[in-house]
Amino acid sequence: MKVNVAQVRRNEIGKAHFDLEEDFSSYDSELEGVSFTTPVRVHLQVINLGESLLVQGQIQAELKVICGRCMDDFIYPLDLTYEDEWVLSSLASEEQSETAFVFEKDEIEISERILEQIVLALPMRFICSPECQGLCPVCGVNRNHTSCECMIEQIDPRLAALAQWSKRD
């Protein structure tokens, strides 16, 4: 995903807007259990700050993920804000080359940065819905779709003691 900053860099315009779209499915293999179902859309504003370029905007993606409770897949939409500072390599001060991202010539390649933002935004575990019933621990059916007859014993220890006591009669 490349942004051509030739114009904004030469300050012909101080600010430029970009709407970009790219298929990120080639990154699927880097993401365990997650795949991109639609191209990633990025809306960016590039602002010439004089010594560097401020790149900021929105990232929108739709991922297919697996629910950690019921193991069904579902669509997980993402809408993130993004901001980076980029500086031309030939103009970068020592400090800038440590804090900003460096680009050559007139194009900045933001795919890796966009992927990083997406990865950072993912939760440790996906849950398809707060009401997800998960899998039956006895027979393994998905309890969102199927009901089963399994009895899951959840005996209160105080009641268990009482049951023992009443057996003595």
Site string for Zn ion, 39-68 (x = CB under 5 A): ----------------------------x-
Is residue 150 involved in binding Zn ion (CB under 5 A)? yes
Question: Rounded to the nearest 5°, which phi and psi values hold at 117?
Answer: -60, -40
Structure-block tokens of residue 7 = 């114009």
Is residue 119 near Zn ion by the rule CB under 5 A? no
Residues, the chain, total? 169
* CB of residue 77 to Zn ion, shortest distance in Å: 16
> Is 8 near Zn ion (CB under 5 A)?
no
Which CB sits closer to Zn ion, 71 or 91? Answer: 71
Closer to Zn ion at the Cβ: 152 or 159?
152
Gap between the Cα atoms of 55 and 112, Å rounded: 14
CB 85 within 8 A of CB 47: no
Nearest-angstrom CA–CA distance, 115 and 19: 17
Contact 41, 60 (CB under 8 A): yes
Instruction: Please report whether residue 70 would count as binding Zn ion according to CB under 5 A.
Output: yes
H/E element, 18? strand 15-22
148 scored as a contact of Zn ion (CB under 5 A): yes
How far apart are CB 154 and Zn ion at their closest, in Å?
A: 14
| Segment lying near Zn ion (by CB under 5 A), choices 35-43, 55-63, 100-108, 127-135 | 127-135
Which residues sit at the interface with Zn ion, rule CB under 5 A? 67, 69-70, 128, 132, 136, 138-139, 148, 150
